[in-house]
Structure 1
Amino acid sequence: MEPRRMADTLRYVLMGTGPFAVPSFEAIRQQMDSTGDQIARVFVRPLPPVKSRGGPPPQPVREWAESHDLPVDAPASINDPETIASLTALNADLLVVCDYGQILKPDALQSARLGGINLHGSLLPAYRGAAPVQRALLSGDRETGVSVIHMTPRLDGGPIVASRTTPIRDDETSGELEVRLSEIGVDATLEAIGMLRTIQSLDSHGPLGEPQDPAKVSKAPRLSKAEAQIDWSATGREIDCLVRGMQPWPVAFTHTVVNENKPPLRVAIRGVRTETYAADASNIGRVMEHEGLAIGCGDGQVVIERLQPAGKKEMSGLDFKRGHRLTAGQQLIAP
């Protein structure tokens, strides 16, 4: 193996699987002509077993790498001794990790001269974990952002090297916000790389970045389908945040009673508008007097603009109301 290089040019190993990583990885690739940097290899998660006719799920980073003829590897575990040996043999200066899906242990991080950086979709230490974008929306936050950390074995716990902040738009879904944050993350990633470029040795440089405040840590566990069920006693804003936060997956839902002789119908709720007034608890879950499809909630009513009944196409709330001849006062939401 060649000795570690101490030059201004960098040799990268990129690690990612999902779409959040692609804009930053592409920015690194595009600047290689001007910097002299190299991408030694791209690591992605292995493809899961195919369980449907639709084939394996997309892997945007794999597709991006293959489209640019970059070498791709997909080990079952990045921390296996054989994988660590392969990583070390690449003689990389820096690991750039984003949306990868595996936690790197110390031996993996030490395989590169400068260790690794990770682009995360929140303003750390808030929302450490797998679903930071969704959790920010579900919590009703008004702003969020991205953080680039110098990685440690603790999940999302390393010092912050660069960050960017952005307001959350009132009509933004998790999917839309995630795309926007991935683009905002490009500048933060390149800023972090620029800082690391001049470092000859981590041992001689000392701590990097700003340590995270442990008192401000919050978790962002992966979403579950059960969390997507709407509680109509919640406030209109809470319901709106749930509907937007659960898109594109698993999608907020409720059960409606449109025929007393049939079981409740599961309906996916894809778009709502809130209207607040002096609420009456007896109206929760009932159809309200409104030109559209309005349902009573904890602090007023929620107008359902788009929905999708099980087994049917997406439609407007008004079309659903007309099709089922719903009237004011009707108990629509199943208890």
Structure 2
Amino acid sequence: MRLAFLGTPDFAVACLSALVAAGHEIAAVYSQPPAPRGRGQALKPSPAHAFAIEHGIPVRTPASMRDPAEIAAFVGLKLDAAVVVAFGQILPGAVLDAPRLGSFNLHASLLPRWRGAAPIQRAIMAGDRMTGVEVMRMTEGLDEGPVLASETLRIDALETAGTLHDRLAAVGADLLVRTMAAVARGDAVAKPQAEEGLTYAKKIRPKEARLRWGKPAAELDRKIRGLSPFPGAWFELPTDKGPVRVKALLSQVEEASGAPGQVLDDKLLIACGEGAVRLLRVQREGKGPQDAEVFLRGFPVAAGTVVL
């Protein structure tokens, strides 16, 4: 089919690559405008934008798809279908209805649970045991369209947002290709979403990332894993030269007790409001991620230390 692909982050790249490999004609890739990245804050294209350039696919980076000129350009592509994967903008009806067969979205949750911006992170933070990916026919409402296909994945005990992201991206790319083949054949069946179980995956805010040790260990463990690797749940470690910010990237819950924030041994077991969390992977400010054992060799943390 002749498709437009609208997507921005790495999650979208797996799907775009799979559609190209399946032989679809990608008339254009739409992505968010280049943004400042890295230490120099130079403007760099999004992962989907970079993939499109590498493969000779035309790219458009509109500030708003509601711009009448952008809508006219989109209609002018004369598409069979549009595919949207983590694009980052709400699309108006004039865009969604322009392709001959409609517009389709791959979403990283089992709808209607976790509609919205951060379904992978929110599923882990909420303690969900299962999640998945679904392809829906898009409507103007936020992730409200009928579902054509889905795949379910289990969330493991040491799952992070990063590992779950990668698994969902791979499964989602395969599901999307199979579903678009069904759309092309005319035998795809869309079923309305259930009316029960609706939740919204709100965007992750910076203030959420700080660890508050008075919370139960199970809640903090889910937050650590749900915000890993980005933005990274963090705390402050006291030193002779002042507090040092440390990101906690992987953890597990253990049975132990102490004052919230107190380090209970020399291997980063930290007491919480209920129970304790063992930090397994951390990242000191300005440094790269390290397993806790490696981190402690160069930056020992004694039992009895109180982290903030």
Per the normalisation by structure 1, the TM-score is: 0.83
Unmatched segments (≥5 aa) in structure 1: 1-9, 200-204
Equivalence for 2:123: 136
Q: Is the 8 A contact 1:78 1:102 kept in 2?
A: yes
1:305 pairs with 2:280: yes
User: For residues 211-245 of structure 1, what are the alpha-carbon distances to aligned partners after superposition, in whole Å with 9 as ceiling and x for unaligned?
Assistant: 11233211111111211111222332222211111
2:97 counterpart (93, 110, 113):
110
Equivalence for 2:254: 275
Q: Is the 8 A contact 2:4 2:27 kept in 1?
A: yes
Q: Is the 8 A contact 2:238 2:307 kept in 1?
A: yes
Q: Distance in 2 between matches of 1:316 and 1:234?
A: 24
Equivalence for 2:202: 221
Q: Distance in 2 between matches of 1:238 and 1:221?
A: 17
Q: Is the 8 A contact 1:97 1:117 kept in 2?
A: yes
Distance change in 2, residues 1:323/1:98 (3 Å) = closer
Q: Distance in 1 between matches of 2:301 and 2:74?
A: 64
Aligned runs of 1:107-186 on 2, under 5 Å?
107-186=94-173
Distance change in 2, residues 1:312/1:75 (3 Å) = closer
1:332 pairs with 2:306: yes
Equivalence for 1:65: 52
Aligned residue identity for 2:302: L
SS in 2 for 1:283: coil
Aligned residue identity for 1:131: A
Report the CA distance between 1:311 and its aligned residue: 4.3
Structure showing greater Rg = 1
Q: Distance in 2 between matches of 1:16 and 1:310?
A: 31
Q: Is the 8 A contact 2:270 2:278 kept in 1?
A: yes
Aligned residue identity for 2:226: G
User: For residues 183-216 of structure 1, what are the alpha-carbon distances to aligned partners after superposition, in whole Å with 9 as ceiling and x for unaligned?
Assistant: 10023212321232133xxxxx9x9511112332
Equivalence for 1:19: 10
Equivalence for 2:235: 254
- The number of equivalent residue pairs is 307
Q: Distance in 1 between matches of 2:176 and 2:143?
A: 15
Q: Is the 8 A contact 1:236 1:276 kept in 2?
A: no
Aligned residue identity for 2:273: G
Larger strand percent: 2
Distance change in 2, residues 1:303/1:31 (3 Å) = closer
1:235 pairs with 2:210: no
Q: Distance in 2 between matches of 1:293 and 1:85?
A: 57
Q: Is the 8 A contact 1:293 1:321 kept in 2?
A: no
Distance change in 2, residues 1:292/1:119 (3 Å) = same
Distance change in 2, residues 1:312/1:165 (3 Å) = closer
1:245 pairs with 2:221: no
Task: Tell me how large the CA RMSD over aligned residues is.
Answer: 2.5
1:42 pairs with 2:33: no
Unmatched segments (≥5 aa) in structure 2: none
SS in 1 for 2:17: helix
Aligned residue identity for 1:332: V
Q: Is the 8 A contact 2:136 2:148 kept in 1?
A: yes
Q: Is the 8 A contact 1:159 1:208 kept in 2?
A: no
Give the % identical residues: 35
Question: More deviation in 228-237 or 121-130?
Answer: 228-237
Report the CA distance between 1:45 and its aligned residue: 1.6
Question: More deviation in 139-148 or 226-235?
Answer: 226-235
SS in 2 for 1:214: coil
Question: More deviation in 111-120 or 81-90?
Answer: 81-90
Report the CA distance between 1:93 and its aligned residue: 1.0
Q: Distance in 2 between matches of 1:246 and 1:180?
A: 16
